[in-house]
Chains A and B, each alone.
Chain A
């Protein structure tokens, strides 16, 4: 194990990476040995009493009770200062060790870049799980098994919640029909087709397989035919395919859980009942299915609305806001499980209903907290699931039957492909944007099976076929995850599937999205049929007039979407500017267009500052002020202690700092509606800043009449307002910046000399070098 771990680091190229990876590997080994040893120690103590494990634990517990007494009575020696009492922390200790192991593995994989580019993380984790399982078995210990409860109640919910909460609603709703067809009809098709074929083949194949009856076959088929959301997420998060395919695959994997649960319960009932008629079966399917899906959605929606409503009142206790989101969702999941509905399917409506209202109510920090917590939990749980999968594979009982297993794998593939092709043919008749052959291929190929199938398999009744089924399930899972998972990335590249657009939403796109919505609704109405857009519009209006009033606190409830988008964008830009100010990097928009290029001669307007609400303004103000302080302090300290730095370089970076500060101050005044301190900005005389400067300051209008703006804006407050509106910062490209800086360097001494004469009295008007330095460090 140590050798294996060390072999991996040797393959990495950089020496730093190698040593870090080796360290990680060593740490992991130490942890593994500790975990194994702790397990074996317990076994050892149990064995020494000649009993099995559980009684062994009790025994050692009672022995522990005996100890103090024996200590006191027998020896009367000094109290044990340092004693080893592992038992009472055993459970949390082991859990922590496992989680730590999982995280270190994850860390290790990302330090070794080459491997993680070829092999998706899930495969590597399964391999690690296999190794760990092998190790534990070698020690002779019973490995932890992926229990139903552990998996379904602790490991799975955060992953699904993470996916559901951040589900992109628009593409989901637009493609809902397609997703439902794939999920429901596709899974049913898979289940029955494969089940029927398997049964037929088993009957034909003869003796050892003859014991497989139809129902258990169908049950098995149900388990194996469901596409697994965890596996899909894990593999596809590293490949950024376009939104449509992503939402199809992901939506399908989520929704088919409902189908799986229905069929599972149904077949279980029937297999216990013995015989079943076709009528029963159909009735069962319809009844269960309708009840189950509607029930899950309702449960989820109720909890979602409850969560939204609660968040309306949390303005005074901001700290516990994230907890509400998590707990309401978890309750939705558990409640659905109570009624034997599909917990996964209830998490999605819960997240979807809660999100728009909660996000309008909670603070920015809570939002960040929720996001990061969900990501963290889902990441850890995913890792643990895959490792446990590996461990359970090694540990579990196996019955290998070549025919059965190979048949299963092949049939799985065949039925998926056939299903996708057939369904797409039908679906394309109803879709506006048709699915191409490439899309179909990815949908078929991306149908990965995973841990859900595995843990459901454990629940099968313990007949003699169970082990065979389990083995087959594991094989299919391994096949899909390894083979399909590893090859999907090169295939995506090869087929040139459209990737996700990386661009951020611009305000123009938002305006046009809304415009298009209304336009299409209008045209539908002219056409005279109530289509897709009409109902969406109706729902939006209902939402705006009634629901929002109830669920969103205060004035935000009447804020139209465009404005909230705009506010959000402003805030983001302010924070970005602030952050970039602290790391000496300018924002990326490279254009020097500013407001006076767009404004023409126009009448004077009132203050054109957008109406951001007071609390937001306060928040933004706080952020900007705090960071402005930091930058200012840094600049001052820079000036006082770094006198020996090369003045050339000094000037450049100093100039850059100053530029950022100017911009930040400008932005601050944008939000604070108080003109920032003007004296600090006058020393900077850059080519492109001048027009803004003159507009900015009250008294320098006549100075250098650049641009029409100076002449045509008679009243200063307007000009400040207008300039401050320039949302994408008029920054210069780097080429321009260099040009300016050289110019500035030439100009700087002149300017500074001028200022020295004009504004201040320096204590020491020394030689040129000193002047330059002092001039630079004007703060």
Chain B
């Protein structure tokens, strides 16, 4: 069953490889992991991901899980959440974390950077309106600090406020007192994290070897 499946899935792998840039070997490994997570079903649901024990102590677990089910991350210009995903969508989300290859032009590198920052932006912008409002940003900071035990909401609030102010200062420069800063748009977000070099940081080492038997 397994062998047959992988044999017939080969042409699919070719398509996927072209689409996402992963190599065939890596796709195979990821497919195995997908099947392991979804208990051999065809689609993956949120509770499958929530079942991963290691993920339980991650402060931003909810956002990570959401990111897999967010249509905006599938590169198909869709929007809104879905309830379950297939392997292709899984792979597309994973491809955001692929490291840039060595020989890339400046333009390609810029594209990679935009893509990764878009992913981050989508994670913050939970209501899909295209901007990160103060409330959403506050939520982010609260989640980050949520594992630290005794924390007042106010500290998180003030940090988020300070951060938001900084964004506004950088993006807008001078504002009249009666103007109102709606929220961080994607362009502002780009400008904010301009020096962050995200293309070298937001990467995971995808292995060619199958280590899924080692851990849950």
Contacts and interface: CB of A to CB of B under 8 A. Distances in A.
Interface string B157-188: 11101111111111011111111110000000
A591 B174 contact: yes
B215 A562 contact: no
Interface string A361-402: 000000000000000000000000000000000000000000
Given A512-B120, A726-B165, A520 B204 contact: yes
Nearest to A561: B148
Given A558-B150, A728-B165, 4 more contacts: A516-B202, A520-B203, A528-B211, A722-B161
Interface residues of A, number: 74
Which 6 pairs from chain A and chain B are nearest by CB?
Answer: A591-B169, A560-B148, A522-B64, A727-B162, A707-B177, A525-B54
Nearest to A544: B148
B163 A511 contact: yes
B214 A708 contact: no
Given A432-B203, A434-B102, A528-B33, A508 B177 contact: no
B25 to A, nearest CB: 14
Contacts of A532: 205
A560 B145 contact: yes
B19 interface: no
B55 interface: yes
B30 A509 contact: no
29 contacts: A433-B203, A501-B195, A507-B162, A511-B159, A512-B120, A522-B55, A522-B60, A523-B97, A524-B204, A525-B58, A527-B30, A527-B204, A529-B207, A529-B212, A530-B214, A558-B150, A560-B148, A560-B151, A563-B148, A591-B168, A593-B181, A611-B154, A691-B177, A706-B177, A707-B177, A707-B178, A708-B180, A725-B162, A736-B174
Interface string A466-507: 000000000000000000000000000000000001010011
A696 to B, nearest CB: 13
Given A526-B64, A528-B212, A591 B172 contact: yes
A508 B204 contact: no
Given A501-B195, A512-B196, A528-B211, A562 B165 contact: no
Contacts of B54: 525, 534
A531 interface: yes
Interface in B95-137: 97, 99, 102, 120, 123, 134
B37 interface: yes
Contacts of B102: 428, 434, 436
Nearest to A524: B204
B206 A511 contact: no
A432 B198 CA distance: 13
A589 B168 CA distance: 12
Interface string A553-564: 000001010110
Interface string B27-51: 0001001001100000000000100
Contact of A514 (B94, B144, B149, B214): B144
Given A432-B99, A597-B181, A518 B59 contact: yes
B106 to A, nearest CB: 12
Chain A CB count within 10 A is highest, among B152, B158, B205, B212, for B158
Contacts of A592: 174-177
Nearest to A606: B154
Contacts of A598: 134, 161, 164-165, 168, 180-181
A608 B154 contact: yes
Nearest to B52: A525
B4 interface: no
Contacts of B161: 595, 598, 608, 722, 725
Contacts of A432: 99, 200, 203, 205
Contacts of B176: 592
Contacts of A591: 168-170, 172-175
Interface in A715-766: 722, 725-728, 730, 732-733, 736
A611 B155 contact: yes
A526 B168 contact: no
A522 B61 contact: yes
B180 A706 contact: no
Nearest to A612: B155
Nearest to A435: B102
A515 interface: yes
A688 interface: yes
A288 to B, nearest CB: 32
Nearest to A534: B54
B140 interface: yes
A311 interface: no
B94 A523 contact: yes
A719 to B, nearest CB: 14
A526 B201 CA distance: 18
A68 interface: no
A610 interface: yes
Interface in A552-611: 558, 560, 562-563, 566, 589-600, 605-611
Contacts of B155: 563, 566, 610-611
Interface string A253-285: 000000000000000000000000000000000
A378 to B, nearest CB: 29
A541 interface: yes
Contacts of A606: 154
Nearest to B207: A529
Contacts of B57: 541
Contacts of B215: 528-530
Given A516-B201, A528-B33, A563 B162 contact: no
B192 interface: yes
A516 B206 CA distance: 17
A521 interface: yes
B167 A589 contact: no
A519 interface: yes
B195 A503 contact: yes
Contacts of B97: 520, 523
Given A507-B166, A558-B149, A592-B175, A518 B58 contact: yes
A515 B212 contact: no
A711 B57 CA distance: 44
B162 A566 contact: yes
Contacts of B174: 590-593, 732-733, 736
B7 to A, nearest CB: 23
B204 A563 contact: no
A728 B169 contact: yes
Given A515-B60, A523-B94, A528-B33, A599 B159 contact: no
B193 interface: yes
Contacts of A607: 154
B73 to A, nearest CB: 12
